[in-house]
Amino acid sequence: MSRSPRMLSARARVLGAVLAVACVGLVVVGGITFWVQRDRALDNAETQLRGFAATFSAETARGRDSVVAAVGQVVPGRSDGTIAIADGQVVATAPASSGLDLAHDDAFVRAVSAEDPTTIGYGTMTGDLGRLRYVAVPLGDTVVVHAILLDARLELVRLGVGTYAIAGAGMLLAIGVVGWFVIGRLLSPLRNLRATADAITITDLGTRMPEDGDDEISDLSRTVNSMLDRIEGSVDVQRQLLDDVRHELKTPITIVRGHLETMNVSDPTDVASTRDIGIAELDRMTRLVDDIDLLATVEGDSFAMSVVDVDALTARVGELVAVIPGHRWSVETRGFGRVDGDYDRLLQAWLQLADNAAKYTPEGSPIEIGSSFGEEGAALWVRDHGPGIPPASRHRIFRRFDRAEGRRTVGGSGLGLAIVDAIAKGHNGHCSVSDTPGGGATLTIHIPPGLGRAAADLPAPIRAGDVVQQREASG
């Protein structure tokens, strides 16, 4: 399936969002800083003008010569200027070498001369020098004017904002470069995930993602690899099951077909014999299908977990195995404790072990069952006195359709112990095989501990010799 074209990659979209947020933040901070600094500069200019007006108001009692002399002594700043005007003419000016030369700004002089000469006046105008904020202080027939060039005062503010803008642009560039590589590093597991998903096919499930690092993204890689391991294991199991089923069904089908092809239809005895053979093989196929269905149910079923009393479970199994003919059954020991488990499934697995022991044990020999409980959980076991299981074959007996070699090969689908193993694994447990003293095999189901522990005041376990009376089985 072809992918639709994308305008931008996820890497570019994430980086774009980061840069957009950073840009908006820088603009907001820069704007706030500019307006605060601008207002402060204007407030300082206004404070300076009012201070000047308050200082020169004291000169009202003196004559023009005194005023001219006072103006000549003023030392203005680089953005300031002071002049005295009488009858529309500039009669005095502060030294222009260090400040503004207001005397030659004709537009400014005309505007100030036209104002009311009786009161202190404040104003703002644009003259030849630029935008000026001034105060006019009337002193008799003379007006002293002090002006501040606002453009010069705000120049430092604009210079600071310009510097901030250049630094902000550099910072955005740095964020973009670093963010491109960082986001690429963070998104690399996703690219690996996509590449891994593209590489996996039904015939090749072995591709895995690299698991570098210990962050959340690396945890995703490990989780995906674990999921792929489970999927691969499940597919391998299904393939093995199909191969085993095909192999197991091939023999009865071949037998039935061969007898049907060689059957003499005119011979009633041969027909009856062929019919019996066909029915027997079909019965075996039916048992095989039933066991396969049971195994699939056990492996895919969600167990009804509850608290299982090991002592009660042991007593129940002892009652049920007593009806299996041909052997003397006894409960050897009973464990006292509780585990988390599915009572019915554990009962089913334990009975399957008992049935397996009955098949491989010589008729009339004793078979013991028992349980124990400790720190590692419960152990449910069946001990027979048959030919035993060779150590080299013990790792195979819980596989599907696999049986121990030699004397233990008897009829059956070969799925009984596989079902037991599936039930044990469904309880986070396992199965084991050991030798029985004096000959035979002991098969054990190990179940981890549950909610409870053995109580100190429980009665002592039942020991060897507590024989379960066997009931006569009909038929």
Q: Got the DSSP string for 257-303? A: HHHHHH--TT-HHHHHHHHHHHHHHHHHHHHHHHHHHHHHHHHH---
Please state, rounded to an integer, the average pLDDT across all residues of the chain.
79
Structural domains of the chain sorted by starting position, each given as residue range(s) with its CATH number in brackets: 13-155 (3.30.450), 216-299 (1.10.287), 303-467 (3.30.565.10)
User: Which of 5-9, 135-139, 202-206 is predicted most confidently?
Assistant: 135-139
For residues 151 and 303, what is the distance between their CA atoms, to the nearest angstrom? 84
pLDDT at 115 over 60: yes
pLDDT at 460 over 50: no
Task: Give the tens place of pLDDT for each residue, 47-62.
Answer: 988 888 887 775 554 5
User: Which DSSP helix (H) or strand (E) runs through 252?
Assistant: helix 216-262
Task: Give the tens place of pLDDT for each residue, 144-194.
Answer: 888 888 888 888 888 888 899 999 999 999 999 999 988 888 787 777 778
Per-residue pLDDT at 97:
60
3-state class of 132 per DSSP? strand
Mean pLDDT of 260-276: 86
How does residue 64 score in pLDDT terms, banded at 50, 70 and 90? Answer: low
pLDDT at 473 over 50: no
Query: Does the CA dihedral 43-45-49-54 come out positive or negative?
Result: positive
Task: Return the amino acid letter for 223.
Answer: T
205 or 273: which leads in pLDDT = 273
How does residue 35 score in pLDDT terms, banded at 50, 70 and 90? Answer: very high
pLDDT at 113 over 50: yes
CA atoms within 13 Å, Cβ hemisphere of 356:
32
130 or 16: which leads in pLDDT = 16
In a 10 Å sphere around its CB, with 0-12 CB exposed, 13-18 middle and 19+ buried, how is residue 25 labelled?
Answer: exposed
Q: What percent of the chain has pLDDT over 90?
A: 14
Of 195-199, 203-207, 214-218, the one with minimum mean pLDDT is 214-218
Per-residue pLDDT at 172:
92
For residues 144 and 120, what is the distance between their CA atoms, to the nearest angstrom? 10
Per-residue pLDDT at 224:
82
